[in-house]
Amino acid sequence: SAVISQKPSRDICQRGTSLTIQCQVDSQVTMMFWYRQQPGQSLTLIATANQGSEATYESGFVIDKFPISRPNLTFSTLTVSNMSPEDSSIYLCSVEDSPGGSGGAVDEQFFGPGTRLTVL
Amino acid sequence: AQKVTQAQTEISVVEKEDVTLDCVYETRDTTYYLFWYKQPPSGELVFLIRRNSFDEQNEISGRYSWNFQKSTSSFNFTITASQVVDSAVYFCALSASWLSSNTGKLIFGQGTTLQVKP
């Protein structure tokens, strides 16, 4: 299985500032995703990070607030912009590798250790 | 629309008891995938199982077993002889195949917190 690392593991930030979270995978993967888990809640997909093109955002999430980059098949960043206390969450990177010819199969999805963000 | 419901918010059992976590899903896709994840207190999400919609065979892995029934749109998870280390939040999730625009995206249930007491 893919090994995923995230930086930072946690941070405490001031209102109005921005934080960039990095996600590094030890192998090339087709799909990368960013999820948010608010305190005591389930996981919600923010966006799909597309290599070489703009990310695809889910309803309720916009690029100005959560800009995403994916320069290659092993790395992605998520920025949480102009933060407010409501942004306090765990942000998780997820990867899925569906090799060509898999017939549309969805492979296992693995998650990084998460970045625990607290906004004061 | 796709939806996953885990009606049990919290379950508390005594060690060595068997426990079943329920998961009911909704989807209009004919091909889809179901997952279970474990989130221990440390916070990381641990992959447990993936099952595709064409495979209704039950699966057993050690003390874990899964019962997939398309007729009731359920994918329940049973832990046999529970242990304190099983204490965690368990999430059931749903994903459509590449035939759908939702490919690869996981829709999570609200999670079930399992507490196993010694």
User: Alpha-carbon distance B105 to B83, whole Å?
Assistant: 32
State what percent of residues in chain B have pLDDT above 90: 67
Confidence (pLDDT) at A104: 46
Indicate the residue of B45, B98, B108 with minimum beta-carbon distance to A104: B98
The answer to whether A1 contacts chain B (CB < 8 Å) is yes
Lowest mean pLDDT among A59-73, A105-119, B93-107: B93-107
State whether B104 and A98 contact (CB < 8 Å). Answer: yes
Residues of B in contact with A97 (CB under 8 A): none
CATH of the domain at B64: 2.60.40.10
Task: Grade residue A66 by pLDDT with cuts at 50, 70 and 90.
Answer: very high
Q: Which residues contact B86 (CB under 8 A, 6 or more apart)?
A: B79, B114, B116
In a domain, A106, yes or no: no
Q: Grade residue B16 by pLDDT with cuts at 50, 70 and 90.
A: very high
A50-64, pLDDT tens digit by residue? Answer: 888 889 999 999 999
Gyration radius of chain A's alpha carbons? 14
A108 touches chain B (CB under 8 A): yes
Q: Would you say residue A105 lies in a domain?
A: no
| Domain CATH for A19 | 2.60.40.10
* Number of folded domains that form chain B: 1
The total of structural domains in chain A comes to 1
CA distances from A90 to A63, A73, B21 (A): 19, 23, 24
| Owner of token pair 């965690």 | B88
Give the Cα separation of B41 and B21 in Å (integer): 18
